[in-house]
Chains A and B, each alone.
Chain A
Amino acid sequence: MIAMDDLRKQFTTGRGRQARTVVAVDGMTLHAQDGAITGLLGPNGAGKTTSLRMLVGLVTPDSGTIRVDGVDLRDDPQGVRARLGVLSDARGLYPRLTARENIVYHGRLHGVADDVAQSRCEHLARLLEMEALLDRRTDGFSQGERMKTALARALVHDPDNIVLDEPTNGLDVVATRALREALRVLRDETGKCIVFSTHIMQEVERLCDRVVVVAHGRHVADGTVASLCAQAGSDDFEDAFVRLAFGPQGQPR
């Protein structure tokens, strides 16, 4: 379970007179349960990526708390990272290593023994339909192949909590459907807590059990797709999202 409460973060860019403060996250709250896929939905620049970076400990929040399975990030950052499988927007691979070596390397850094990491790698390759890729160097992989490898790398240590930052970016329809199916399996068969950040409505409608809507760094609404539609007074989820995120006139709230 992932709990982020009232997170705030602002960045200062430039120096002296040129200094400018940008509020990236301004009161973000997100509670993601086990055995459910929670969507983090917001327009570009809403603070989704910064929030997820705070969750991993790459960015330190100015205020607010982060807990993963009850472990506070401030008290035990390594313990929190060990409980998370993160597919961030930066999903670079090592081009001279094979897909298997890329995946097992991360498994080893998560403290998984080599033989266990190898068998997890095989299992994930079957789940993500990438067995043929395993022993190829990742140099020259397509977007979809890269994403599958990066996802397997994030899951190799079998984490209870999975965080995916816009995972379908650059994927074609077939790869997107395969990813969606893999996430359903992870939720239904292993009861994982999955947080799925995106700005694409259809993905949220088709996949998420609960949705947290964010805009301008703030949490503006949360609930199921149906309840959010009801809250916004619209049958169409896209209309409901625009009203919730930007107000009735489509202006930022």
Chain B
Amino acid sequence: MRMSQSVWVVFVKELKDALRDRRTLMAVFISSVLMGPLMLVLLSSLVGRYEKRAEAREVVVIGLDNAPALRNYIERQTFVVKKAPADWETQLKASKLGDPVVIVPADFEDDLAHGRPPRIELVYSSANARAQSGVGAIAQLLQGFDQEQASLRLIARGVAPSALNVTRIDEHDIADNAARAAQMTHIVPLFVLMSVLYGALNAALDTTAGERERGSLEPLLATPASRGALVIGKWGAVFALGLLIAVLSCLSFLPAQSLLRSESLAALFRFGWVEAAWFIGLLAPLAALVAALMMAVAIRCKTVKEAQANMVALTMVFTLTPLVGLFTQEGEAAWNLWVPSVAQTTLMDRVLKNAPIGLLDVAPSLLLCIVLTAAALMFVTRQLAKRAAQ
């Protein structure tokens, strides 16, 4: 029998076997395919809430009746004044109040009239993320009042207000829309990468440690099919399942976009068919490597349970290494493109940022994935007979 025929027979059987494991497939489907879009929707809802607050232009104040000038200024800036609840401090600490609180002293107007700087308190809790996000806008509002008062005093003394401005600051944000959105959507490549791992995991365990545990490996090796053909057929099925879940995971982001609640995020996050195709293309070599490495780890184990324990370390390496860049905040380093899983997340990030990707960017990880996959498969082939007889 030709080797290619044996490979095909094993591939079809393993795929059929894995696809009949409905419960496991459903669990993988839910965790890998639905989790990503769900996270995206939650993220967008969070961003949406912040945006809504910024648009609401509200300021929570205590004692504004003591400061008609300040009230006048605030209202001219089209801010809506809200009175702080009685237990505002407790609510702020418990994150129930989502706005910082401005406290205006009783002698505000008198101090202002006599040239004494009145002391306005801006109270927030840095443990209350919602309230803290509004601090900048309120501080800017109060500074605006401060500046207006100062300017009026200078004009009254015949001094041009521009005398206070020694320099002028012009802010330029050079990030384009896609790059800005990528800040928010860093998590997307990581989820898609995890779906490859979870998609391949069960099939990798079942075709190696599972065969040993149920005693079906020895009869399989008693057939004339070459060991290499058995391993390649099995690997092909594991790879196909990992890639299938990755494809479903990528495609699930397409409809998920319509659920984005943040309008600006929805406008910025562009994930169309082209981006999905890029993702799948980048993930394919990684899925090949993950399948081979999982099989190499699992073939040494006598039971699926033992293999699962060993697999924890492998999945952690693949999911945690891309986080290194996220934590260090140093941007892209040259080594990023050489390390499988880091390279894929880096390049997928670029796809989301709409940044260019050249052949030389893809080549290092592609080469490494091919070499490591081949090495892992040779290892599994060598181990197959040895482990069957143990």
Report the Cα distance A59→B225, complex, angstroms: 17
Asked whether B96 is an interface residue with its Cβ less than 8 Å from the other chain, the reply is: no
Chain B residues with CB below 8 A from A84, complex form = 222
A88 touches B219 (CB 8 A): yes
A118 to nearest B CB, angstroms? Answer: 14
Q: Which residue of A lies closest to B22 (CB)?
A: A96
Contacting chain B: which of A27-35, A75-83, A218-226, A229-237?
Answer: A75-83
Residues in A with CB closer than 8 Å to B221 are 56, 58
* B195 vs chain A, min Cβ distance (A): 23
A90 x B225 contact (CB < 8 A): no
- Which chain A residue shows the least CB distance to B211? A92
Q: Quick one: which of A98-127 are within 8 Å of B by CB?
A: 101, 105-106, 108-111
Beyond A59-B389, A78-B224, whether A92 also contacts B214 by CB under 8 A is yes
Q: In the complex the two chains form, what is the Cα distance from A58 to B217 in whole Å?
A: 11
Q: List B residues 240-293 near A (Cβ within 8 Å).
A: none
B385–A110 CB distance below 8 A: no
Min Cβ gap A152→B in Å is 12
Q: Is B224 a contact of A79 with CB atoms below 8 Å?
A: yes
A109 touches B220 (CB 8 A): yes
Residue B13 lies at the interface, judged by CB distance under 8 Å to chain A = yes
State A81–B221 Cα separation when bound (angstroms): 9
CA separation between A109 and B226, bound complex, in Å?
Answer: 9
User: Are the CB atoms of B385 and A92 closer together than 8 Å?
Assistant: no
Shortest distance in angstroms between B373's beta carbon and chain A's nearest beta carbon? 24
Determine the residue in chain B with the shortest Cβ distance to A56. B222
Q: Roughly how many angstroms separate A78 CA and B222 CA in the complex, as a whole number?
A: 9
Q: Whole-angstrom distance from the CB of B359 to the nearest CB of chain A?
A: 40
The smallest beta-carbon distance between B215 and chain A, in angstroms, is: 3
The listed residue (B21, B217, B222, B388) touching A86 by CB distance below 8 A is: B222
| Proximity string of chain B (355-373) to chain A, C-beta cutoff 8 Å, 1 when within and 0 when not | 0000000000000000000
- B143 on the A face (CB < 8 A): no
Question: A249 to chain B: closest CB distance in Å?
Answer: 35
Residue from the list B5, B17, B224, B225 in contact with A94, Cβ < 8 A: B17
Contacts of A79 in B (CB 8 A): 224
Residues of B within 8 A of A57 (CB): 385
In-complex Cβ contact of B389 among A53, A97, A105 (8 A): A53
Does A95 interact with chain B (Cβ within 8 Å)?
Answer: yes
> Is A154 engaged at the interface, CB distance under 8 Å to the other chain?
yes
**B56 at the A interface (CB under 8 A):** no
Q: Please measure, in the bound complex, the distance between the C-alpha atom of A171 and the C-alpha atom of B251, giving whole angstroms.
A: 52
Instruction: Report the minimum CB–CB distance from B23 to chain A (whole Å).
Output: 11
Residues of B within 8 A of A214 (CB): none
Question: How far does the alpha carbon of A82 sit from the alpha carbon of B222 in the complex, in Å?
Answer: 8
B223 touches A58 (CB 8 A): no
Asked if B216 is an interface residue, CB under 8 A from chain A, the answer is yes
- A110 CA to B225 CA, complexed, in Å: 7
Contact B224 A110 (CB under 8 A): yes
Task: Give the residues in chain B near A7, CB-CB below 8 Å.
Answer: none
Near A by CB (< 8 A), chain B positions 1-50 give 1, 5-6, 9-10, 13, 16-17, 20-21
A150 lies within 8 A of chain B by Cβ: yes
**A105 lies within 8 A of B219 (CB):** no
- Closest 10 A-B residue pairs measured CB to CB? A92-B215, A111-B1, A90-B215, A92-B216, A92-B214, A109-B223, A90-B218, A82-B224, A96-B20, A78-B224
- 13 additional A-B pairs beyond A78-B226, A109-B1, beta carbons within 8 Å, are A56-B222, A58-B218, A81-B223, A90-B217, A92-B217, A93-B214, A96-B20, A105-B13, A106-B220, A108-B9, A110-B1, A150-B219, A154-B222
Can you name 15 A-B residue pairings with CB atoms under 8 Å? A56-B222, A84-B222, A88-B222, A90-B388, A92-B215, A94-B214, A95-B214, A96-B20, A97-B16, A101-B13, A106-B220, A106-B223, A108-B9, A110-B225, A150-B219
Q: Which residues of A contact B (CB under 8 A)?
A: 53, 56-59, 78-79, 81-82, 84, 86, 88, 90-97, 101, 105-106, 108-111, 150, 153-154
